[in-house]
Structure 1
C-alpha cells in the first residue's frame, strides 16, 4: 500500500498537488530527479501530497491516472517513470498531469510564477546547466550510487531489479570517486567565475534557482544513500562548497 506525506496548507491555498515518488527503506525521499521537483514545490510554498509507488507498480499506476509517458522505446512502446505531478488547481475534474522533472519545472514556473526558479533571461542557460549536471556530472556517480540506491530501496522495488551489480570496493572504489571528483573540480572552476557575486555558492550568483535545485538533488542523493563513504568525501571538496550549497537549500527540504 502506498504511503502518503501531507504538507500543511492554509484554507486559502490552491488544491493540493499530488507528487508521485519512489519510497526507500526509510520515509525520507532520495531519488534525485524527484528531489528537483520537491525543491521547487517547497520553494514556491505550494501544498502537496506524496504518493509513494514501488518500482513494480510505476507503469500500472501512471497508466491508471493517464499520465503521459516520459519516453518511447525503439519498438514504439511507451516508457513510464517518475516523477509525475497531478495538479487539480485549474479544474479538479480534469487536473493537469505532468511527467518528467524538467517538464514539471517548466509547468510549475508557468502556472505559479511567484518566487521564480527561472529568473528572467536565465532559462536557456539553466536548461544547459541542468543537462550538464544530469548527463556529465552525475554519470561517474552511477556505478557507485545505483548499487547503493538498490540496497536502500524497499524490498518490492529491490526485487524488481535482480542481479544488480555490487558497489565498487578497494582500488576500484577510489578510482570511481576520483572520477566523480574530476567532474566536481571542473564544476567548481566554472562556478568560481561568478567571483564575489552573492555568497559564491549558488549558480546565478545571488538568487537560488532551478540549476541549484538540480545540483542539490544530486547532493541529497549522495548524502542519503552514501552518507559514510560518499557524502563524507564530497562535503569536504573545494573548501566545503557543496556542503554550503546544500545547507543553503536545506530550508526547502522539509
Structure 2
C-alpha cells in the first residue's frame, strides 16, 4: 500500500509581475525578493501580468497599496501572503515598505534594520525611490515596457491607461539624460564614502547589508536586466566600480524561487 504523502508546510507567497518569460524585474519587487532570500525564508512566486493585478489582489482581499487623490484604491505589486503563522487566516501585506516592516518584525533573525538605524534607513530609502530614481525614468520606463509580455503591453494601450512612453533616441538628448543619472550616482557615492573610515564604504550601514542596500541594489538589478548594454555597462564602472561591488555583495540573495 502506498504511503500517504504529508501535506507540504505552508510557505510565503510573493506576487510578482513577469518580464519576458518568468523574469523578475520590477525594482520594488526585487527589493522584497532580496529580503526574503537574505532572511532565508521559504517562499514561492506567483506571476501576475499587469491586466490581472487588480482583479487578482481584490480576490485575495489584499489592501490597496495606496489611494488616488479622489480616494479610489490603487492595487500594485508586490504583495506578500504569509500563511505560516495561521494558515486559516493568512497575513496579506501590500506596499513595499509595509512588507519590509512586516518581514522584519515577524522574522527578526538576520535583521535588515540594525538597532537604531530604522529612521535613517527610512529616509535613505525615501530618497532612493522618490529622488534618486527620477532621472532614470525617461530612460528605463520605455525600455521596461519593451520587455513586457504582449498581453501586458496591450494593457497599456487601453482607453483608461496612458499610451506607452517613447524611448529616447540615441544621441545628445539621451546622453544628457544619462548625465543627469550620473549626477545622482556621484552624489550617493560621496555620501556612502563617509563610511569608508569605519566600514567598507560600499554598504549603507558600514559592514552589513541592510534594507537601504536592498533598495539601491534593486535599482541596479532593474538597470542590468532591462538595459544591460546602454545602462549597466556604464554604471558598473562609475565611481570606481562601487556599484558593481554592491551588486556583488547582494549576489547570494538574487535567487528567484
For the criterion TM > 0.5, the same-fold answer is: yes
Q: Deviations over 1:34-88 (max 9, x none)?
A: 0110000000000111000010110000000000001112222111000000000
Other-structure match for 2:3? none
Other-structure match for 1:7? none
1:29 is aligned to 2:24: yes
1:221 is aligned to 2:216: no
Other-structure match for 2:244? 243
Other-structure match for 2:172? 171
Deviation of residue 14 (structure 1)? 6.4
Structure with the greater alpha carbon radius of gyration = 2
CA contact (8 A) 2:194 2:201 kept: no
User: CA RMSD, aligned part only?
Assistant: 1.3
Count matched residues: 243
CA contact (8 A) 2:22 2:47 kept: no
Cα distance in 2 between the residues matched to 1:42 and 1:132? 24
Determine helix, strand or coil for the equivalent of 2:194. Answer: helix
2:128 to 128, 133, 136: 133
Question: Structure 1: which 5+ residue stretches go unaligned?
Answer: 1-10
Cα distance in 2 between the residues matched to 1:16 and 1:95? 10
Flag the 1:242–1:14 CA change in 2: closer, same or farther, 3 A. farther
Other-structure match for 2:148? 153
Cα distance in 2 between the residues matched to 1:22 and 1:129? 26
Determine helix, strand or coil for the equivalent of 1:194. Answer: coil
Runs of 4+ with >3 A deviation? none
1:106 is aligned to 2:101: yes
Other-structure match for 1:93? 88
Other-structure match for 2:118? 123
Other-structure match for 1:204? 205
Question: Structure 2: which 5+ residue stretches go unaligned?
Answer: 1-5, 158-162
TM-score (norm 2): 0.92
Other-structure match for 1:234? 235
1:42 is aligned to 2:54: no
TM-score (norm 1): 0.93
CA contact (8 A) 1:14 1:47 kept: no
Deviation of residue 166 (structure 1)? 1.8
Cα distance in 2 between the residues matched to 1:14 and 1:220? 31
Cα distance in 1 between the residues matched to 2:219 and 2:110? 22
